[in-house]
Structures are given as C-alpha cells and as structure tokens.
Structure 1
Amino acid sequence: MAPNDDSVSARAARPLPPAFAAGAAVGVLGGMIGLGGAEFRLPLLISVFGFAALSAVIMNKAMSLVVVLTALPARLAAVPLTDLGAHWTIAVNLLAGSLIGAWAGASWAVRMRSATLYRVLAVLMVGMAGALVLTHTSALGTLTLPGPVQTAAGVAAGFGIGVVAAIMGVAGGELLIPTIVLLYVVDIKTAGSLSLLVSLPTMLVAFARYSRDGSFAVLGASLRFVAVMVAGSIIGALLGGLLLGVIPDLVLIPALAAILLISAVKVARHASPR
C-alpha cells in the first residue's frame, strides 16, 4: 500500500444533501471569478467530509475533469476552434511541460506520507491565494521574449503548473490563464479557452497515473457522493456566472483569498498527530 494510503476511512458513507450544497457553493465561488473553484472544493473534502488527503485529491481531480468537460462546449462557443487554431503552438508549448509535470506530480503525491501531503496541500493553498489576489487585483503584464527563451519558459511553466494541478486535483486555470497572458501576449478571453485545451489532457495524464494507485478505489466506493457534488458544482458554476461582477473584485477577491488561507491552516492541522 502507498505510504499515505489511509484512505480506507473515505469509504464510509457521506450524506448527499451536504455534498450537493458544498458543490454548489464551490461552483458559485468559482463562477463568480470565472474559474472552476476546485481549490475551494479540496479543503471541504478533507476538513468537512473527512476524506484522507490522497483520496480527497483523487476525488477532486475526478470532479474537476467533469466540470472542465462540461465547460468546454460553452467556452468553445464563445471562442471558436477556428480562432484558437492560430494559437495552437501555445497549447503545444505548455503541454510539452504540463503532461510531464502532471505525471510527476501525481507520482509524488501517491508516494508522500500522509502528513507530508497535508503540509504540501496547505502550502499550495497559500500559493493559490496569492495567485488569486495578484491576478485579479493588478493588471496582467506581458513579456517580450526571444523565441527559444519563450519556448523554454513555456515548457518550464507548464511543468510547474502540471505538478501543482496534479497534487491539488485542480484544472490549473488559476495559473494557466495569467501564464498564457504573460508569456504569449494573448487576450484574457482567448487565454481562458486555451487554458481548457491545456488543462484537459494534463488532467487526463494525472488521472491515469492516480488510477494505478490503490487509493483510486475511493472513486468507486464514493461514486454517488462524487456525482451529487459534481451536479452541485455545475449548477453552482452556472449561477456564479450569472452573478459575475455583482460583487466588486476589491471585496470578493480578498474574501476568497481569506477562505483559502483559513482552509490552508485547517488542512495543515491534519498533518499533526491526533
């Protein structure tokens, strides 16, 4: 068994109405900032529903994958594939790093001790809070780099994003969108669509790696829970999209960052002997 395979506790039945409500809340939060919100779902799976760290990551990855697949048609309707075709080299550049990063990140996650994984997740949540504030409260700049340097930077950034996305079980749009804008001078709407095209294969690679670990059985043991929470997340995301702009970013973003920081503290506490 894996070093952190204390996931047998995740096999216990969880109540479904709270799962739907939690998924909906995550969807609303994500929808209000134009993202999936998986970074908010992960601490709920750990601290509220009592899943072990690795089980929570695997479930979060599965739910994120479904949410991305659901969002993809709507995003492609807004930015057609014909428009994205002009930027295919960007997706390939990032994928060259993110696919390797996703496999590596998932491999590291399944080999970590449970206490270590909790600490890593807490640190990444703090990082996500910082990225959220930086991305939404300041103008995204751009870099003008020579072709080979831009390509190398894209592979390196993709690798890092793939690792983070795999370990947290998120799609990675929170990091991909600003990276695409910064490195490739692309408008943020197109960057959002490109991020989904990069996220999907990256998530599939991480998912394939996790499927080789014994903890992957948590999906079969909690299938109804996952389905209900995903349904809540999708409905919440639609509602959150309608509420986009209702709450000023200067109020919403610090509040969401605070939620992530509080969640990081709670997740970190799981690393301590109890």
Structure 2
Amino acid sequence: MRGPANQIKMSDATSLAMAFGGGALIGGLGGLIGLGGAEFRLPLLISVFAFSGLEAVILNKAMSLIVVAFALPFRSSSVPFGEVAGNWPAIINLLTGSLLGAWLGAGWATRLSHKELYRVIAVLLVLIAIALVFGHNAANAAPALTGVAQMLTGVVAGFAIGVVASLLGVAGGELLIPTLVLLFGADIKLAGSLSLAVSLPTMIVAFTRYSRDRSFAVMRNNRRFVLAMATGSIAGSFIGGQMLGFVPSSMLLPLLATILVVSAVKVWRHQ
C-alpha cells in the first residue's frame, strides 16, 4: 500500500487490519444512528494514518458514501423503505439546497491550504458535537414551520449542510437528523433513514467534484487500504443497522460528542 510521504510507520498488515477495524467500528455507528460516520473517521485518517487534509477528506467521502449506501437498506427492518419514500417532499426539499452546497463546498475545500482546512475541520467537528447532543435529543413534535416558510428554510438548511458535508467529507447526517426532527417533525429513527436518503445523492455530487482535483489520486495510490476500510465499513453498517431496535441513542450521543471534541482538538493542533 502506498500512502503520503509522512504516513505513520507501520507494516502493511497492521495498517490494513487497523483500516478494517476502524471502518467496522465507525460503520457500526453509522448504521445505528443514520450517519456516514465520517466525523469519527476523519481524525483517524489524519492523526493515525497521516493523510494530508484534502486526501483525508477525499478518502473520508468515499468511505462515507459506502456506509450510507449500505446503511439505508440495512436499517429497513426497523424503518421500511415505504415509510422513507412516503416522506419524499422533505427529501426533495433538502436535496434542492444540499446538491448545490455539496458542489460549491468541494470546490472551496480544494483551494484551502492544509492548515486552513485543518482549522475549518476542527471547528465543524465541535459544531457537529453540539448538534448531536442537542438536536438528536429533541422530542418528536409538530413541524416548526409549514408551507412556503418550511420549504424555503429547508432549501437554505440543505445548502448549508451540503457545504459542511463537502468540506469534511461527511454524509451530513449529524445536521440532517436534527433538521428533519425540528423542521419536519420526523421521528428520530425515521429521521436517521431520511438523512441517509438525502445524503447519498449529495455525497455523489461532492465526490464527482473532488474527482477533478489531483489529490483524488490518493484513491488509486491506496487501493488496498481503501478496500480494507470499505469492507470493514460494510460489515459494521450491517451490524449497526441490526442493532437499531435495541440500543437507545441516548446512551451513545454523549460519548460520541466527547470523541468529536477530543478529535477536534487533535486536528486543530495537527501539523
């Protein structure tokens, strides 16, 4: 496996095993909560495997895309496809803004210096931790807005989430889930699956934009690493999806938020 020049010194076997294990653990969280898991994977790619900022974002986007694509069907035993499809107006509303935001955000990320990108990543990780704690604990209630006001707010929120998702290489579920709960009054488990349905096309758009940058070669240069982490991610997302009906999110969210804050500090200090 070839990696960046400053990549941490470890054997190929150890690196691949860690890639599989990390992918499985993070994929499990993604399948359980309805996330791509990228907020936890990104600090791992930067701090442990020593990929540069943009290379880590691109790898992160690829892994998140895989988790999202598999987590949605894996969660179908608890949240049927019919229930997700029945909420198509909310999906289209958010997608209208998120697709444009994803394309523009990916373009901005490719123009930032490594130091600037690390700082942006660190700040966004902290904001996502806050959204996880407060947004996901919101009680299911009537939508905050209705009609035209809801539609316009959904487009603006989708655009902002698309930008953040591209800059971090994340699926955006940490922000989409609170938005779906608060703005559209969706149940927390349904919101997790709806967020995956919005995230998938949004991530494809951002991934297409990243493919035009020379740093995209990191995918080709680290094929074995990508395959190991992708395989672990699929296995983890399956396990997480099956656990959806048994593990309450309230037990996980404070721990996940703490991990994000610690990761943000490490990324901010990363040279």
Cα deviation for residue 73 of structure 1 reads 2.5
Task: Report whether the alignment pairs 1:150 with 2:146.
Answer: no
Alignment of 1:123-272 (within 5 A): 123-241=123-241, 251-270=251-270
Whole-Å separation in 1 of the counterparts to 2:150 and 2:97: 13
Contact 1:11/1:222 (<8 A) preserved: no
Unaligned runs of 5+ in 2: none
Alignment of 1:47-196 (within 5 A): 47-76=47-76, 78-196=78-196
Pick closer, same or farther for the CA change 1:266–1:196 going to 2, 3 Å.
same
Pick closer, same or farther for the CA change 1:247–1:202 going to 2, 3 Å.
closer
Tell me which moved more, 232-241 or 47-56.
232-241
Whole-Å separation in 2 of the counterparts to 1:102 and 1:192: 19
- Please name the residue that 1:9 is paired with: 5
Q: If the length of structure 1 is used for normalisation, what is the TM-score?
A: 0.86
Cα deviation for residue 32 of structure 1 reads 4.6
Cα deviation for residue 136 of structure 1 reads 3.7
Q: If the length of structure 2 is used for normalisation, what is the TM-score?
A: 0.87
Cα deviation for residue 207 of structure 1 reads 0.4
Whole-Å separation in 1 of the counterparts to 2:74 and 2:30: 16
Tell me which moved more, 57-66 or 171-180.
171-180
Whole-Å separation in 2 of the counterparts to 1:251 and 1:181: 19
One-letter amino acid of the counterpart of residue 133, structure 1: V
Tell me which moved more, 130-139 or 168-177.
130-139
Q: Which runs of 4+ in 1 moved over 6 A?
A: 10-13, 245-248
Whole-Å separation in 1 of the counterparts to 2:163 and 2:22: 26
Pick closer, same or farther for the CA change 1:192–1:123 going to 2, 3 Å.
same
Cα deviation for residue 46 of structure 1 reads 0.3
Identity of aligned residues (%): 58
- Please name the residue that 1:4 is paired with: none
Contact 1:161/1:175 (<8 A) preserved: yes
Pick closer, same or farther for the CA change 1:257–1:85 going to 2, 3 Å.
closer
One-letter amino acid of the counterpart of residue 5, structure 2: S
Corresponding pairs, count: 265
Whole-Å separation in 2 of the counterparts to 1:161 and 1:74: 24
One-letter amino acid of the counterpart of residue 9, structure 1: A
One-letter amino acid of the counterpart of residue 224, structure 1: R
Cα deviation for residue 223 of structure 1 reads 1.3
Tell me which moved more, 252-261 or 231-240.
231-240
Whole-Å separation in 1 of the counterparts to 2:94 and 2:138: 24
Unaligned runs of 5+ in 1: 1-6
Q: CA RMSD in A?
A: 2.5
State the SS of the aligned residue for 1:203.
helix
